[in-house]
C-alpha cells in the first residue's frame, strides 16, 4: 500500500537513508511547488520557498509523528515559508484592494508606482497600519487573511492550501476582515479628511 511505503520511507529518512530522502522529496516536490506557485505567483520565488521549506522539513523530520499525512505536514511547512516571503516589502501591496480590506478607503486604489509625494506618504502610513492590524490577528485568522489579501488567492484556493473546508475558510476570512476594518477605520477617516483638504 502507498501509505505503508511512505511510512517506511520516512522511517528510513530518519535513519539517515539519503536514497529514501531523495524519493520522498521527488514524491511531494511537484505538489509543493503547485501550492507555492498559487500563493506567490512567481516561479523563482516558488522554487526558493519550496527548497527552503524542504530543508526545514528534513531538519525537523524527527518531529514528524504521523498524526497527519506527510503531504499535509509538508504542505503546511511550504505554506509557512511562502507566508514568510509575503512579509517582505516587495510583496506587501502587490495584490491588495483597499476597498475590500477596509470598506471605503480614501482613494480605493492599491498602491502603485508614480504616486505624488503626498499620496506616497499616505500609502506608507496605510501600509504601516495594515501591517500592524494584520499582526494583531490570531494566527488562525492571520494565515487565511494573508493568503487571500496578499497573494490574491480566491477563498476556494485558500481553503485548499490551508486544508480547511470552504465554509471554515470563509468564516475565518470574515472574522479577520471584521477585525481589520475596526482597526483601520480611524486611519481611513484621518486619511480621507487629509485628502479632501489637500
- Return d(Cα 36, Cα 150) in angstroms, integer: 13
Q: Look at residue 86 and tell me whether its pLDDT is greater than 70.
A: yes
Which tens digit of pLDDT belongs to each residue from 136-147? 888 888 888 878
Topology of 89-197 in CATH? Arc Repressor Mutant, subunit A (1.10.10)
Domain boundaries, the chain: 2-86, 89-197
- Return d(Cα 84, Cα 143) in angstroms, integer: 11
The pTM (predicted TM-score) of the whole model is 0.56
Q: What is the CATH number of domain 2-86?
A: 1.10.1740.10
What lies within 8 Å, CB to CB, of 62 at 6+ separation is: 14
Which tens digit of pLDDT belongs to each residue from 10-61? 889 888 888 988 898 889 999 899 888 877 778 899 999 999 999 999 888 8
Q: How many helices (H) and strands (E) does the chain have?
A: 9, 0
Amino acid at each position: 500500500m502507498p501509505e505503508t511505503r511512505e511510512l517506511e520511507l520516512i522511517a528510513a529518512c530518519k535513519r539517515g537513508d539519503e536514497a529514501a530522502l531523495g524519493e520522498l522529496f521527488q514524491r511531494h516536490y511537484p505538489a509543493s511547488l503547485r501550492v507555492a506557485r498559487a500563493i506567490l505567483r512567481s516561479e523563482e520565488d516558488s522554487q526558493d520557498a519550496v527548497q527552503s521549506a524542504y530543508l526545514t522539513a528534513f531538519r525537523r523530520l524527527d518531529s514528524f509523528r504521523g498524526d497527519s499525512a506527510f503531504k499535509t505536514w509538508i504542505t503546511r511547512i511550504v505554506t509557512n515559508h511562502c507566508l514568510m516571503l509575503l512579509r517582505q516589502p516587495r510583496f506587501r501591496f502587490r495584490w491588495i484592494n483597499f476597498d475590500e480590506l477596509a470598506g471605503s478607503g480614501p482613494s480605493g486604489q492599491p498602491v502603485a508606482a508614480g504616486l505624488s509625494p503626498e499620496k506616497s506618504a499616505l500609502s506608507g502610513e496605510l501600509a504601516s497600519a495594515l501591517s500592524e492590524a494584520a499582526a494583531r490577528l490570531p494566527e488562525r485568522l492571520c494565515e487565511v487573511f494573508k493568503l487571500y489579501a496578499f497573494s490574491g488567492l480566491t477563498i476556494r484556493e485558500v481553503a485548499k492550501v490551508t486544508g480547511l473546508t470552504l465554509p471554515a475558510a470563509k468564516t475565518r476570512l470574515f472574522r479577520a476582515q471584521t477585525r481589520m476594518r475596526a482597526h483601520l477605520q480611524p486611519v481611513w477617516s484621518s486619511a480621507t479628511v487629509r485628502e479632501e483638504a489637500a
